[in-house]
Chains A and B, each alone.
Chain A
Amino acid sequence: MSPLFRIKRWIGDHLILGLGLLVLVYTFVPIAVVVLMSFNDSSKSKNVYVFKSWTWQNWLHPFKPAGMGGDVLLSIEIALVATAIATVIGTMAAFGIVRHRFAGRGIANLVIFLPMASPEIVMGSSLLALFVATGFGGHLGFITIVIAHVMFCLSFVIITVKARLTGLDDNLEQAAMDLYANERETFWRVTFPLVLPGIVSAALLSFSLSFDDFIITNLNAGQRVTFPMFVYGANQRGVPMQVNVIGTAMFVIAITIVLVGEFGRRRREKLLAA
């Protein structure tokens, strides 16, 4: 091999990886800005979104802006309730679809895919039209928001759990049955623990989707204000930098959960291999 050819090959091998990493860096720039702005002294800039000077004040008093604390709390409550409902009924549906034959499977798959592929504004306005038509137009609030959030989280839960379930090695269940475990024991002691990581990531995904949703929520919230709605409203008056504290904190917590899970998985694999 000539040295020139080797260099060309090295470039070919690493160029794409380098470009890929560059794209990842690009996706992280705005996150870095969120973290940076959480240390920004906002009192000096009401209308322009620029970094003025460094301060710890936002982190010491994260709930200082009027109303924001309650809005964050409301978003967390909604996300917890919606995640619980969506995870339970989504996991059940995933088991039903993967493990059982039934009529209308094609339609079921389509109805699961469609919410992910519909514009949020259309789903949100359809729901609003339904609520108004059924006389709930004056009662928009916590319950209607939860209903909407469960609706769009369900598809993501079903697809995530389904993926984990189809990838499962059914020899393990066969083995449990061969060792005289009955169906219930096999499910709770073998199948469920194996599917659990999928269920956990589905729940995590649901929570972030729900906590973050703006378009559908805004249409169906009535007088209630969630955290994203607070941010959107604040954009017109001047954004308090504390919103970035909340954003940074959520990010750190979520990433920690994901990384702890990933390292736990790697350690278990190493232990099993040893």
Chain B
Amino acid sequence: MATLDDVASPKAKRKLTGYWLILPGALWLGAFFVIPFYSLISASLFNPKGSPLTGYNMSWHFHNFVSAIDQYHAEIIRSLVYAGIATLTCLVVGYVLAYAIAFKAGRWQNLMLVMVIAPFFTSFLLRTLSWKLILSDDGKVVSFANWIHLTNVLHWVHLTSTDDRLLATPFAVIAGLTYNFLPFMVLPLYASLEKIDIRLIEASSDLYASPIRGFAKVTFPLSLPGVVAGTLLTFIPAAGDYINATLLGDPNTRMVGNVIQGLFTTQGDFANAGALSVILMVIIVGMVLVYVRTAGTEELV
């Protein structure tokens, strides 16, 4: 590229063009994505005695964090557990689909990829409402789950509160999260599986590795960047989501998103809401750093 453009125009002008092209996007993201974090952090240190109407005093009120953790630790832990289970389920289910598209789909590859993102074209809320029908008490899914004693197992591991229903239970919320964020797992997995040189997998079988061993020693390690990106893109939005908890859960499945939303809009308690948002972000950033370090991949985009 360089040679072509160097002939066409002087280097100095080109250098500036790059900055001009990026400027509007950079300003937008700077003003409305980066700077708001500063506002959020300062809101989290407001004196909670104020209100959105009369204004708040910025008083370095670190106690907000203590009181937020004290009051809402159950919701924070619940969010991380639900999002964790949903992410693991997405990883297993999504890996099968991504693998099928990357290696087995042949000429149907493009069509299958379109089908992966097709759910994005109907409303997230409407699809979540659909699960209300699918998991409803007198529905076929519940009677089938009863018949194979899945409901008993779920009750035994505390994912449901009674042993004859699925809706309005942690199981329903996790199922909804899994469903809604599956495409975010499949696409990065597919992207990194597709890059794998198929000859490496063939070589492992030529060297008498069983298919399972070949997968564990060759395919899976090579797809790790996709696994890392996919789990992050699933876990992070899932941990902050509250639509699934509201539509498919009950008051006992409240997640941290429900609390933050309620504090901001109905209670107008910016101080505690801000503190809770910052806590969620810090936990997530901390987990991401540890996770990326452990998985040993720096390349995310």
**CB-defined contacts of A123 to chain B, threshold 8 Å:** 33, 36
Contact B39 A96 (CB under 8 A): no
Contact residues, B84-127 vs A (CB, 8 A):
93-94, 96-97, 99-101, 103-105, 110-112, 114-116, 118-127
Q: Are B126 and A244 in contact (CB under 8 A)?
A: yes
Q: How far is the CA of A96 from the CA of B19 in the complex (A)?
A: 7
A258-B260 in contact (CB<8A): no
A132→B120 contact, CB < 8 A = no
Do B112 and A121 touch across chains, with their CB atoms under 8 A apart? no
Query: In the complex where A89-B25, A121-B257 touch, is A126 in contact with B39 (Cβ < 8 A)?
Result: yes
* Chain A positions within 8 Å of B125 at CB level: 212, 214, 228, 231-232, 235
In the assembly, what is the distance between CA of A214 and CA of B14, in Å? 41
Chain B interface mostly? helix
Q: Which residues of B are found within 8 Å of A29, using beta-carbon distances?
A: 130, 134
In the complex, how many residues of chain A place their beta carbon closer than 8 angstroms to a beta carbon of chain B?
99
Of the residues A96, A132, A150, A212, contact of B28 by C-beta under 8 Å: A150
Residue A34 at the chain B interface, CB threshold 8 Å: yes
Q: Which residues from B are CB-within-8-Å of A95?
A: 21
User: A-B contact count, CB below 8 Å?
Assistant: 284
The stretch among A54-62, A98-106, A192-200 that forms the contact with chain B is A98-106
Chain B interface residue count, CB cutoff 8 Å, equals 97
Q: How far is the CB of A140 from chain B (nearest CB, A)?
A: 11
A128–B22 Cα distance when bound, in Å, is 26
Contact of A121 among B99, B123, B132, B240 (CB under 8 A): B240
Q: Let me know if A125 and B28 touch, CB within 8 A.
A: no
4 interchain residue pairs of minimum CB distance: A119-B240, A20-B100, A100-B18, A96-B21
Q: Which residues of A approach B to under 8 Å, CB–CB?
A: 12-14, 16-17, 19-21, 23-24, 26-31, 33-34, 37, 48-51, 89-90, 92-93, 95-97, 99-102, 108-109, 111-123, 125-130, 132-133, 137, 147-148, 150-151, 154-155, 158-159, 170, 173-174, 177, 182-183, 205, 208-209, 211-212, 214-215, 218-219, 227-228, 231-232, 235, 239, 243-244, 246-248, 250-251, 254-255, 258-259, 262
